[in-house]
Amino acid sequence: MEIIQNLFYSVRFWLFKKYCKRVDFSTRKLVFSDDFKTLDNFNVKDGEFYNDNDVYFSKDAVSLTSEGVKIVCYKDIATRETYQGKRTTNWTTGMINSYDKFLYPMGIWVITAKICDSWPAIWLLKKDRNEPGYTRGQITPEIDIMEVMLLGNKNVVRHTVHYGYAELIYRKFGIGKNIFKCDNDWHEFAVELLPNGYNFYVDDIKTANFISKDPEFVTTYPNYLLLNNAAHPENSKNTEFIIKSVKVYEN
C-alpha cells in the first residue's frame, strides 16, 4: 500500500507539472524580498527546544552560503537546560523567523528552497499568540506552506492549515494534502491567502485549495514566516535544508 501511495503522489505531481496552467506572481506588487545575502530580516533561534520534539535549536546550525541560507540537522545527543526546562535531545538543528522583522496580513508568500529527507518546514504564524491580551482570531490559523512529513518509511511533501482555538495547544483542527514524495531537489512553494481560504502552489502550479466557512479558518491579523529543519524520531541521518529566497506579493 505504501509503495502504491508514493507512486500515486509522484505520478500526480508529474501530471500537475505537465498539464496544469502555471501562475505568474511577478505581475503583482512586491512588498518584501530577501535572497539571503544577510540574515538582517530574520531572527535566528538559539538555545531552545523545538516544543516537545526531540530537537534542539542552535544558531550554529544556520549559515549563509552561495545558494542561500542553509539549515542543517544532525545527530547530537546532549542534555541541556533552557528556559523550557532540562532534557536530553538527540538532534540539533536551526530555525529562522521574521517575528518583529516582517509581518504581513494576507498576500502571496513565495519561497524557493531545496528540500531534504527529514522534517523541514515553511510556515506562517500569528505574532500575537506569544503576547498577553490576545484574542482567538490573533492565534490561529497556522499555515504550513511546506512540511515534509513521514508517511510509513517515506517522506512526503504536504500543505496543511491548522485552525480553531484550543486553550492549551492553540489550534485543534487541521486540513491538509500530501503532494509528492520528497525528492531532495529545488522547488518554489507558495500560498495565497484568500478571504475564505488558501491556494497552495508548487513550482507555479496550484496543488491545493482549502476553503471553509469557519470564521477561524482565515483571519486578517499579520503573519510572520518561520523556516526550519528538524528530525522525525524515526530519522537516522543528517540533512541540509537550503532556502534561496523569500518573496511576498499583494493579493
Write the CATH number for 30: 2.60.120.200
| pLDDT tops 60 at residue 172 | no
Whether 56 maps to a domain, the answer reads no
The answer, yes or no, to whether residue 138 has pLDDT greater than 70, is: no
**Per-residue pLDDT for 234 more than 80?**
no
Whether the predicted model's global pTM rises above the 0.75 cut: yes
Residue ranges making up the domain that contains 129: 2-41+95-249
Residues 6+ positions from 29 with CB-CB distance below 8 Å: 249, 250
Q: Whose CA is closest to 9, among 215, 212, 157?
A: 157
Is residue 181 in a domain?
yes
Q: Is residue 77 part of a domain?
A: no
Beta strand spans in the chain (E): 30-34, 43-44, 48-49, 55-57, 62-65, 68-82, 85-93, 95-97, 108-114, 121-126, 142-151, 154-163, 173-181, 186-194, 197-202, 205-211, 223-228, 239-249
Q: Residue 71: inside a domain, yes or no? A: no
Work out the average pLDDT over 144-166.
84
Confidence at residue 52, expressed as pLDDT on a 0 to 100 scale:
86
> For position 153, what pLDDT does the model report?
65
CA atoms within 13 A on the CB side of 47: 3
Tell me if 80 is assigned to some domain. no
Domain count, the chain: 1
State mean pLDDT over 80-90.
93
How many residues belong to the chain?
251
46 lies in a domain? no
Q: Are strands 55-57 and 85-93 parallel, antiparallel or unpaired?
A: parallel
Residue 28 lies in a domain: yes
Q: How confident is the model at residue 2 (pLDDT cuts 50, 70, 90)?
A: very low
